[in-house]
């Protein structure tokens, strides 16, 4: 199982700053709108419930959340589609780029531009994806052996301690169930989502390459239609 990604920590810190200028709300709204296609009742649609919870954690206004949910029934709203791109970054690291867009003719050039300008390139479908596995990833505000045993008893496949929290991995279909079991066990969940987790990582040990990798990741994350970026880079400090 992959180790803890420095990018995940930086992305969450960046997300807190993005929320102040509203950029993250667009991404979260698109995720909610896509999840709502499977049903607009959060009690019946676990993917929507998770997307709404993530939006609330970012202090997204309830009115914005409701508008995103209602978009599924708005015949005048442009249809959103999920498109996943694959690419390579500096040092040969693999990149999985998840987008939600109402215009793929806009999104692909923007993704390509972010890659090429920062030392990366788009890749053929399937050429990077095989290096990753779709997993549920839950972040728990706890540490220590007791907490680790608790999350494993809740049904987690694996867990590791990093930066004072537990990063918990589940089968993708078990994400909502394991998350709820962890909460029921009395632990605090700070985030839960599906991610592309690398099967193995590429260690980046020199500062120059590490800076280039972070730059291309940051540029991709700044593309409005990009909702998530995953990498197999392991930046060694």
DSSP 8-state class, residue 236: -
Is 131-198 a domain of CATH 3.30.70.980? yes
Structure tokens at 99: 């987008």
Rounded to the nearest integer, the mean pLDDT of the chain is: 89
Q: Residue ranges of the domains in the chain?
A: 6-73, 81-130+200-235, 131-198
Beta carbons of 28 and 58 less than 8 angstroms apart: yes
For residue range 207-226, list pLDDT tens digits in order: 999 999 999 999 999 998 99
Q: At residue 99, does pLDDT exceed 70?
A: yes
Q: Which CATH homologous superfamily contains domain 81-130+200-235?
A: YebC, transcriptional regulation domain (3.30.70.980)
Average pLDDT over residues 158-179: 93
User: Strand pairing partners for 104?
Assistant: none
Beta carbons of 179 and 138 less than 8 angstroms apart: yes
Beta carbons of 195 and 228 less than 8 angstroms apart: yes
> Of 62, 68, 60, which is closest to residue 31 (Cα–Cα)?
68
Tell me what percent of the residues of the chain surpass a pLDDT of 70. Answer: 91
* Fold match flag (81-130+200-235 vs 131-198): yes
- CATH architecture of residue range(s) 6-73: Orthogonal Bundle (1.10)
Q: What is the pTM of this model?
A: 0.86
What's the pLDDT band for 101 if we cut at 50, 70, 90? very high
Q: How far apart are CA 157 and CA 187, in angstroms?
A: 17
Which residues, in sequence order, are CB contacts of 191 under 8 Å at separation 6+? 12, 54, 57, 137, 138, 139
For residue range 53-83, list pLDDT tens digits in order: 989 988 899 999 999 999 888 877 778 899 9
pLDDT of residue 18: 54
What's the pLDDT band for 26 if we cut at 50, 70, 90? confident
């Amino acid at each position: 199982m992959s180790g803890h990604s420095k990018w995940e920590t930086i992305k969450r810190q960046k997300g807190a700053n993005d929320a102040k200028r509203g950029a993250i709300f667009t991404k979260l709204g698109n995720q909610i709108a896509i999840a709502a296609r499977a049903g607009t009742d959060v009690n019946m649609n676990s993917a929507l419930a998770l997307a709404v919870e993530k939006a609330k954690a970012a202090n997204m206004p309830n009115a914005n959340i409701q508008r995103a949910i209602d978009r599924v029934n708005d015949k005048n709203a442009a249809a959103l589609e999920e498109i996943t791109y694959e690419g390579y970054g500096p040092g040969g690291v693999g990149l999985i780029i998840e987008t939600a867009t109402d215009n793929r003719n806009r999104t692909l050039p923007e993704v390509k531009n972010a890659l090429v300008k920062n030392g990366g390139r788009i890749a053929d479908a399937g050429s990077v994806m095989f290096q990753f596995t779709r997993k549920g990833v839950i972040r728990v505000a706890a540490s220590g052996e007791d907490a680790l045993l608790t999350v494993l008893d809740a049904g987690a496949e694996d867990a590791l301690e990093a930066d004072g929290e537990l990063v918990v991995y589940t089968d993708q279909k078990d994400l909502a169930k394991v998350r709820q079991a962890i909460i029921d066990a009395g632990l605090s969940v700070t985030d839960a989502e599906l991610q592309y987790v690398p099967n193995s990582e590429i260690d980046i040990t020199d500062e120059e390459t590490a800076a280039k990798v972070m730059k291309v990741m940051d540029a991709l994350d700044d593309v409005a239609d990009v909702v998530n970026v995953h990498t197999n880079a392991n930046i060694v400090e």
